[in-house]
Structure 1
Amino acid sequence: MNQEEDNIIPIRDNQVHFLFKRGKKEHIEALFEKGEVYINSIDSIRTWDDNKERSDEDDGINFRKYIGNAKIIMCEIGKDAENESIELNAINTTIKQDNITKGNIYCLTGIYSDDLQGERNEIKYETQSFGETIILIRKPQIFLNRVFSELEKLGYKNYKSGRVSYYKNDYSGEINFFKKHEKFKSQNEFRIFISNDKNIPLKVTIGSLKDIACLVNAAVIKIKYTDEREQFIYL
């Protein structure tokens, strides 16, 4: 943060003050140098890879009913359910309804007003397995405006962005593209959702981000406040 205008940043309520993204070196450098933004489909995000810290098979479902402990009886059609069935005991049982709306999601991690207010404790995000290189976006709204502008040029006008909230394991109720299970809470996610019937990734190029972002060499940043207090954020 070398520019004089970035030395003092006012903290406002209910705002995302920074965004960062961790990934493979070549992908993050392409984002920083050229503004190459790859936006995966919801189906690919659900089965991203074997990284359970990132993949979420329930991402974007429409409804969830938590049952908990359950007894499941399985029997072939036409056979005696009492004498020819298999009985299984299950825990953490849920019934889920998928969302008929499909689309693409771009995931980042947000540093929000409530992270920078109050006690200003150390913050640690669990994104280390996502990749070795980090880009810190100092001016999130400018970044978002550039992405939205390019999406509209491509004909995508139905998009939303915002902070992800996290539901408890025993939650029952509506879900959407901005709600995830509490096991992902440490990611503090901010995302963009684009409604899209085609099950394909999107790519938009918004130009260099050097004026609003920087590559972070270390996985920790230090914020110094006007009252001389310091806060460490581990990315």
Structure 2
Amino acid sequence: MSSWKKVSKTNQHVHRERHQPESRVHLGLLEKKKDYRQRAIDYHEKQRTLKLLKRRALDRNPDEFYFHMINSHVEDGEHKELEKDDEHTPDQIRLMQSQDIRYVTTKRTIEARKINRLQSQLHLLEAANQSKNTHVFFVDTKKEAKQFDVAKQLDTHPAMLKRRINRLRTATLKNMSLPEMDEAALEKLTAERDKAYIELEKRIDREKELRVIQQKLEIKRHLLNKKESKPERIKPSTKNTPPIYRWKYERKR
């Protein structure tokens, strides 16, 4: 019995679907049964959906109203919600914008105070010492010019000559007791100074952003004023600048 099963299996032919004839190669691959089944299932599903939508459209009351009719619009084949500007009265909008302006102004004032505090601590020493300022001394003769000692004239140590600010005098240096500083302490002080400069730069950028936001809110508040004539927009707003409008000059009585 087992030998008969082996013989029957060996005599079976493998079913192979025919390929695309050479005369129809330009039409692409020949559709197989599994491709047809998938396409048929998709087709019938779409037909059922269309039939259901047609039935709903026929059964619906033509006089029925729903708010999505007026709260949305079709743009490039896509439904988009309209901005609901009528949720608040003009007075409420002006009040909310004034609150926003007050909040932004407060945050900007805080940032400005912190910037002033950091600048007072850092004094921008490196920028001041690297400035290309000159100090001219006048002498009477060429002999005095050759023998001229700048450190003696400024009453300071020669190592302090490159400094434009905080140039200590000799008497002050003698009376000062300087602590001993190793390389690790100097590196720590340098890292703290660099960190302070990075914080200062970030706060300056933040203050600029708040200033632009404040200007945009103030312009938007003026545009809501119905008593004034409609201004002409000269330049649209950008990420770094507010819009520019020109109001018509009106003589006040």
- Structure with the higher helix share, 1 or 2: 2
Structure-2-length-normalised TM-score: 0.18
Structure-1-length-normalised TM-score: 0.19
Largest Rg, 1 or 2:
2
